[in-house]
Amino acid sequence: MGTYSYAVSVNLTPEDNLTFAAKRNYKINECNDSLISNEAGLWCNNLCGQDEAYCNPFVRGDKIYFQYFADTAFWKVLPKIYDNSTGLIIPSDAYITKELGIDINGNFYLNVILDTTDLTIDCFSMQTYVFVCEPSELLYDACVLAAISLGATAEEAELDCSIELCGAGTSIVYSEPYCLIPCERSILLEGIYPGKDCNGQYYGAFEPNILYSPINSYKLQIRIPAELIKENFQFVSTVVNNNKQKSTQTDVYLLKSVKIPPYVAEKIATCFNAKQLFIDGIEYISGAEVTKNNDFGQMWIINNQLTKKCSEINFNCD
């Protein structure tokens, strides 16, 4: 295990790309952790010499959304919360909602939604167990009852017996780590899509089916260590005979982030490309591109202009 912190200046200075400070250290999974050493897709396994460790920020009350293109051959999917400070799986069912549904083309999607409102740990990863097998339900039920009789909780018995009966049919999907951060040092982005985005994530309604969820609660949301700086105000007015008839105001902002991995930059770009973009619940209009702004290593520094428009004011109306 190792430590990671947002070790940057306490002062918020627009000239400094590292503008956020979190005064606590958080233990996270390092790549030499045997649990994740073979997870090639994780950022910690892809660092170059000029790159930095990264932990996705969250604040209490955030909902964190995961969506997987589902294979109907699986028997069971059990998402678990891995406490990075202890190296243990914590009781997870109370914090997690699962939805399995199909779109109009018959594609299956599995949503895993984590509610952090009552979560008491500060740094964690999601550890999702996928079981592709056809075990005997009688053997499974007997195994669960035996484990509970020996002192296991129902949640522990479900996981242990599923692993025991599925054997080689068990696979684990790990998420990137998440770390608690003061809310004033981050912003929450959300992109609204009516159907699918460019990465194939699905936001539309699930098809009615008695075997699957009728509700698709998946959202494109991401919290990032960044700040939104107001740069200027712009006005467009209609003037007749030196008399202002109507006017529209546009507020111009600059979104500045610390260094972020490419997978975070991709999510930000997907938010910017959405039909609607919200930051901390307020709608903004994004620019035409997201650029890397960093010539060293793989990490990105977001430095993008956004606008927020006020409704037109007609001064001829009461």
Mean pLDDT by 10 residues, the chain (318 residues): 35 39 44 53 81 92 93 87 90 94 91 95 92 92 95 94 93 91 86 94 92 92 94 84 83 93 95 95 90 92 90 76
Which of 166, 191, 223 terminates a domain? The answer is 223
Q: Is residue 168 part of a domain?
A: no
| 112 within 8 A of 216, measured Cβ to Cβ | no
Q: For residue 126, which of 189, 188, 178 has the smallest C-alpha distance?
A: 178
For residues 267 and 208, state if they share a domain: no
For residues 181 and 258, state if they share a domain: no
For residues 11 and 86, state if they share a domain: yes
Q: Domain count of the chain? A: 2
Q: Is-above-0.95 flag for pTM?
A: no
Assign 162 to helix, strand or coil: helix
Q: Is residue 85 part of a domain?
A: yes
| 129 within 8 A of 120, measured Cβ to Cβ | no
| Residues in a beta bridge with 230 | 253
Enclosing domain of residue 237 = 226-314
Which is it for strands 56-58 and 178-180: parallel, antiparallel or unpaired? parallel
Q: Which residues contact 99 (CB under 8 A, 6 or more apart)?
A: 110, 111, 113, 206, 213, 215, 216, 217, 218
Amino acid at 239: V
For residues 86 and 203, state if they share a domain: yes
Q: Is residue 235 part of a domain?
A: yes
| 222 within 8 A of 268, measured Cβ to Cβ | yes
pLDDT in the model for residue 236: 83
For residues 230 and 304, state if they share a domain: yes
For residues 231 and 216, state if they share a domain: no
pLDDT in the model for residue 21: 36
d(CA 121, CA 98): 21
- Return the HEC string of 91-151: CCHHHEEEEEEECCCCCEEEEEEEECCCCCCCEEEEEEEEECCCCCHHHHHHHHHHHHHCC
Q: Is residue 127 part of a domain?
A: no
For residues 45 and 61, state if they share a domain: yes
For residues 200 and 56, state if they share a domain: yes
Assign 36 to helix, strand or coil: coil
For residues 212 and 296, state if they share a domain: no
Q: For residue 267, which of 281, 253, 277 has the smallest C-alpha distance?
A: 277
Q: Is residue 143 part of a domain?
A: no
pLDDT in the model for residue 318: 57
Q: Is residue 135 part of a domain?
A: no
The beta-strand segments (E) located in the chain are 2-4, 26-28, 56-58, 63-69, 76-83, 88-90, 96-102, 108-115, 123-131, 170-174, 178-180, 187-192, 220-224, 226-240, 243-260, 276-279, 282-284, 300-309, 313-314
Residue 302: phi, psi to the nearest 5?
Answer: -75, 130
| 150 within 8 A of 161, measured Cβ to Cβ | no
d(CA 308, CA 53): 33
For residues 250 and 216, state if they share a domain: no
Q: For residue 125, which of 41, 192, 56 has the smallest C-alpha distance?
A: 56
For residues 89 and 236, state if they share a domain: no
Q: Which residues contact 123 (CB under 8 A, 6 or more apart)?
A: 26, 27, 28, 55, 83, 84, 85, 177, 178, 179, 180
pLDDT in the model for residue 240: 79
Q: Is residue 150 part of a domain?
A: no
Token reading at 81? 């919360």
Q: Is residue 148 part of a domain?
A: no
For residues 205 and 236, state if they share a domain: no
pLDDT in the model for residue 55: 92
Cα–Cα distances (Å) from 143 to 135, 208, 290, in that order, read 11, 34, 52
